[in-house]
Structure 1
Amino acid sequence: MGSGFEEVVEICRDLIRIDSSNYGDGSGPGERAAAEYVATKLAEVGIESTLLEPEARRTNLVARVPGRAGPALLVHGHLDVVPADRELWAVDPFAGEVIDGFLWGRGSIDMKHMVAMILTATREMQRRSVQPQRELVLAFLADEENAFTLGSRWLVNNHRDLIADCTEAISEVGGFSVQIRPDQRIYLLESERKGVAWLRLTARGTAGHGSITNPRNSIGILSAAVARIAGHQWPLRLTDVSGQMTESLAKLGAPDVSGDPEALQDSVLAPVAGMLTSSLRHVANPTVLKAGRSLNVVPGSAEAYVDGRFVPGYQEEFLEELAFLAGPDVAMDVLDLTAADQADPGASLVASMQASLAAEDPGCKVVPYTSSASTDNASFADIGIQGYGFAPLKLPPGYSFSSMFHGTDERVPVEALIFGARVLYRLLTGEEPSFTPDRPPDT
């Protein structure tokens, strides 16, 4: 492998070929092979890594790169990916093929592209003997696609000393572009994340024979509650960040994201419409149903699971409304609760992100936004680390960015990968990516 920012494509391809699927039930290959690959790439340029495993093969990696000044910056990515159904894909999801200018594969967007960009930028600064502006703590984590339990949460609870001096963090789901006019590209910077409430609904009725009328059928009671929740129209809830986003987009002539989401499907914001509209209101999606074992037996109980995402500042409102929708005959238990978290969109780090993007893409505009999902940044927010989503990608018009997350035929533009590695290098070092100091040739 040669040096330079182009190696980001090969590194990302290699990572995709390492199956690190997280099934959420303890099965799967784990993250060890991917973590060992990362450790090797860092070792090649003189950076030592610490590998930490809360369980066998569930591996986290932490490394440090000395900086010139200032508090440490946490730069992190997760190594696990959601499972992929090979039969539904046009290509093998773990082959890492480049086709028509896109690198295909599970994790190419969520989020092995950012892992590859971090490695590429770090390797290049080491080759050039350029220190980053701030001390860097690099963290490559397990279990983000489940509940952070064996990854960022475990690191915070068991090895806080490794990250305690970090004041800010950068990771996924931000820094990507949207072409809103032929002459105007914006980059959405994640400065806030919705909270997560994973819920279990339980309806208890009267068990009995399937041939006898049963007004207390647990499945019927539960189904009515699930239908109410699935069909509920949640009202608009703006925060400081999302309010700033809607105002910025309006000033730039973009469509109104606070109105009818369906109206955006044929607009310039279609590639990110689902993400943006969902960030402005609560979301509650029933995802699992469990009831019955025999066709002729009415079960005495039935369960449903709901993935709830609430707007920052409105957690209690959200849970109270869900309990009302479930109704008095359905018990609601919170299985896991991740608080919403925010970071200052006016921080100096954000100004540096804007400058790094503008240097590579003159004339672009950066717009802070609220993510509809949570990330590992939520775990680090618990100990006072302000987290931003900044995995920079200059995307072609019409590229359906939001559908790539957990989707079939996930793929990333090759040129966007190289662009992202260059922007990240600028941000971390303050140097021009074209800067080439005197050094011996690569061997």
Structure 2
Amino acid sequence: MDVARLTSSLVRIRSENPPGSTADLIAFIAEFLDSLGVKNRIVSCPGGRDNLVTTEADPRLLLCGHVDVVPAIPDDWTHDPYGGEVVDGYVWGRGTTDMKGGCAALLVAYQDLIESGVEPKVQFAFVCDEETGGEHGIRSLLAQDLLTPRDCLIAEPTPEMSPAVGQKGLYRVDIAFRGRPGHSSLYPLVGKSAVMAAVDLIGYLREVHAHRFPAGKDLQPLVEQSARVFSEVFGIEGGDEILTRVMFNPGKIEGGEKANIVAEQCRMELDVRVPWGCSLEGLRRGIAEHAPDATIRETDVAEPTLTPPDARIVRTISHEVERVYGRPAVPFLQWAASDAKYLRDEGFAVVEYGPGEIPTLHAVDERVSVAQLERAVDVYRGVIRDYAS
């Protein structure tokens, strides 16, 4: 099966998260692997959250991808987000870039090598819930010891010349502020506003963001390379600041009861990205100290992670990218987070590299070019062949 057609087939099997069921899609991948004679196991979690791992002996490389996608409202799309149409040199639809195209490219590269007589020494892991933190996906597989540390390639979308070798840390919390109600005409002399407590915390985070955490001399070249990648791909200047400052987003705030009542309650969902050199524990304490009457529930916590640029997996993927594109690869550091952080924490040497139109990720008219998919297959074939030798 060619990679564009396989990507289209994966897009047409719906796997939005929420609600989170991946059972049909994982069954399709299991059937594909069965046809190649590859032993595999489906690992099920509640709500149809299915994962798949292959069980061939003595794998040297883990190939990983997530099959869940964020939801799409079709109203503004040029093509049906779940139609998987191949038009104008692109496969269109939700998940084409993030990251069903990457999953398809891994599978086709593997199929090509099997059919050419190569015996790949790899393990696959396709997981169900990267978009919501990995509780039932990669974290569950790690907890069950179904994956053991080795070099790992995740087919997450990246710029075509730039494998991702590290990620900022993550501190994601749900904060419930409590106030003391009173008549609004007497505030702030009477009452204590939960809404204003949230505002005060945001003020503190602005102060934290203003502080720069300089990268060490070992990281500085990667920071500079990454800033150039941000500029070229996204048109974002000041990319070095993205990697050296605490970035924060109070993504959801709701609270208060009525305009003439001092707010008794307020809830904030807060996402904070932590740079290298910033103490995560110190940041955690600072947030708690500036929300003394709040209940803080941590939903995802991770230190910054890095795979050394001289690691075998980084050198191998960089060599294959250069072979396919005819230009040197430029490894970079990510501003976002993925399952890579959990794997690195368990001792895996992880690099991310995959096809995709990055600006359409999670956006309307998400798509991936057929040419990118085909080049990704070529890169992956080279990586898998290297680990088979």
- TM-score range, shorter-chain basis? 0.7 to 0.9
TM-score normalised to structure 2 length: 0.88
Tell whether 2:255 aligns with 1:291.
yes
Rate the CA distance shift 1:327–1:50 in 2: closer, same or farther, 3 A.
closer
**SS of 1:176's equivalent?**
coil
Corresponding residue number in structure 2 for 1:13: 8
**SS of 2:210's equivalent?**
coil
Deviation at 1:110, TM superposition (A): 1.0
Corresponding residue number in structure 2 for 1:195: 169
Corresponding residue number in structure 2 for 1:419: 375
Rate the CA distance shift 1:390–1:156 in 2: closer, same or farther, 3 A.
same
Corresponding residue number in structure 2 for 1:146: 132
Write the mapping of 1:109-128 to structure 2, written as runs, cut at 5 A.
Answer: 109-128=97-116
CA deviations on 1:302-334 (whole Å, 9 max, x unpaired) are 12110111123422343345456x455656443
Quick check: 1:206–1:214 contact (8 Å CA) kept in 2?
A: no
Counterpart-to-counterpart distance in 2, 1:345 and 1:190: 10
Tell whether 2:194 aligns with 1:218.
yes
Rate the CA distance shift 1:268–1:190 in 2: closer, same or farther, 3 A.
closer
**SS of 2:373's equivalent?**
helix
**SS of 1:319's equivalent?**
helix
Corresponding residue number in structure 2 for 1:181: none
Corresponding residue number in structure 2 for 1:55: 46
**Residue 316 of structure 1: which of 269, 281, 289 is its match?**
281
Deviation at 1:369, TM superposition (A): 1.6
**SS of 2:29's equivalent?**
helix
Tell whether 2:342 aligns with 1:382.
no
Residue 96 of structure 2 aligns with an amino acid whose one-letter code is S
Write the mapping of 1:170-249 to structure 2, written as runs, cut at 5 A.
Answer: 170-173=153-156, 176-177=159-160, 187-209=161-183, 213-215=187-189, 216-226=192-202, 228-229=204-205, 232-239=209-216, 242-248=219-225
Residue 285 of structure 1 aligns with an amino acid whose one-letter code is N
Counterpart-to-counterpart distance in 2, 1:299 and 1:247: 45
Write the mapping of 1:233-312 to structure 2, written as runs, cut at 5 A.
Answer: 233-239=210-216, 242-248=219-225, 268-270=232-234, 278-294=242-258, 297-312=261-276
**SS of 2:314's equivalent?**
helix
Corresponding residue number in structure 1 for 2:29: 38
**SS of 1:285's equivalent?**
strand
Residue 110 of structure 2 aligns with an amino acid whose one-letter code is T
Quick check: 2:38–2:54 contact (8 Å CA) kept in 1?
A: yes
Mark the runs of 5 or more structure 2 residues left unpaired by the alignment. Answer: none
Rate the CA distance shift 1:172–1:130 in 2: closer, same or farther, 3 A.
closer
Quick check: 1:192–1:342 contact (8 Å CA) kept in 2?
A: yes
Quick check: 1:241–1:368 contact (8 Å CA) kept in 2?
A: no
- Report the aligned-residue RMSD: 2.8
Rate the CA distance shift 1:29–1:378 in 2: closer, same or farther, 3 A.
closer
Tell whether 2:147 aligns with 1:163.
yes
Quick check: 2:177–2:198 contact (8 Å CA) kept in 1?
A: yes
Write the mapping of 1:387-406 to structure 2, written as runs, cut at 5 A.
Answer: 387-391=350-354, 393=355, 401=358, 403-406=359-362
Counterpart-to-counterpart distance in 2, 1:149 and 1:284: 23
Counterpart-to-counterpart distance in 2, 1:148 and 1:276: 28
Rate the CA distance shift 1:413–1:368 in 2: closer, same or farther, 3 A.
same
Quick check: 2:302–2:341 contact (8 Å CA) kept in 1?
A: yes
Corresponding residue number in structure 2 for 1:260: none
**Residue 367 of structure 1: which of 313, 325, 330 is its match?**
330
Residue 389 of structure 1 aligns with an amino acid whose one-letter code is E
Quick check: 1:343–1:387 contact (8 Å CA) kept in 2?
A: yes
Counterpart-to-counterpart distance in 1, 2:73 and 2:110: 33
Please state which structure has a larger fraction of its residues in helix.
2
Rate the CA distance shift 1:292–1:153 in 2: closer, same or farther, 3 A.
same
Deviation at 1:406, TM superposition (A): 1.9
Quick check: 1:106–1:410 contact (8 Å CA) kept in 2?
A: yes
Counterpart-to-counterpart distance in 1, 2:156 and 2:243: 13
Corresponding residue number in structure 1 for 2:311: 347
Deviation at 1:382, TM superposition (A): 3.0
**SS of 2:329's equivalent?**
strand
Residue 170 of structure 1 aligns with an amino acid whose one-letter code is L
Mark the runs of 5 or more structure 1 residues left unpaired by the alignment. Answer: 178-186, 250-254, 258-263, 432-443
**Residue 103 of structure 1: which of 80, 87, 91 is its match?**
91
Counterpart-to-counterpart distance in 1, 2:62 and 2:26: 17
Corresponding residue number in structure 2 for 1:407: 363
Quick check: 1:30–1:59 contact (8 Å CA) kept in 2?
A: yes
Rate the CA distance shift 1:198–1:338 in 2: closer, same or farther, 3 A.
same
CA deviations on 1:7-47 (whole Å, 9 max, x unpaired) are 11111111111111112xxxx25111110111111112111
Deviation at 1:271, TM superposition (A): 5.0
Rate the CA distance shift 1:84–1:277 in 2: closer, same or farther, 3 A.
farther
TM-score normalised to structure 1 length: 0.78
Corresponding residue number in structure 2 for 1:441: none
% identity of equivalent residues: 25
